Amino acid sequence: MPASGRVMLHGVTVAPCKLGGEIWDGVGQIEPSQIDLLGNLLRGRVPYVEIAKALAAPANEALDKPDVKGRAKIVGPMESAPVRLTGQSDSFTPQFQGPPTFENVPFDGSARLAVELLDDDMVDDDPIGSFQLGPDEMLEAFRAGNVHQVRVDSQTNGQVLFAAISVLAD
């Protein structure tokens, strides 16, 4: 692995509901069976593929989807200025414009990609989740050689499931 590189944040996969089952926009709850299904899929052999298929299913078309926005930055000895994240409206799988790219990120464990996401609402924005990706996740993405889905649900109360990143050598 090189000493440093470019880290790109392509997008995220958001759960179909907030913690507790409340839908993202509007009033109501999703069915408990959908929450159970999500948990089962996350325990599967290839969780990203199964989750992506489930979120694209016709049964989820009627669900209110979040309007994801946020910011990302590199934290560590050489912190970067925050980059504004804007994804597509009404999507469980928004892709970020750009994509946001962070140059010369050291892979020695001293730097992390910190991401904070919100659901953009008319009055009060709902927090979606915050997560950090470190050198282990960056190494996985570098070795994958393409856009790599990193599981982050344990950092976000299950509201953000995956972060799509790619890593290239400087």
Q: Which CATH architecture group holds 4-16+65-169?
A: Sandwich (2.60)
pLDDT greater than 90 at residue 111: yes
Q: How many helices (H) and strands (E) does the chain have?
A: 3, 8
For residue range 34-60, list pLDDT tens digits in order.
Answer: 889 889 999 998 999 999 999 988 878
Which SS3 state, helix, strand or coil, does residue 110 take? coil
Confidence at residue 161, expressed as pLDDT on a 0 to 100 scale:
98
Per the model's pLDDT, the better-predicted residue between 94 and 61 turns out to be 94
For the entire predicted model, the pTM comes to: 0.94
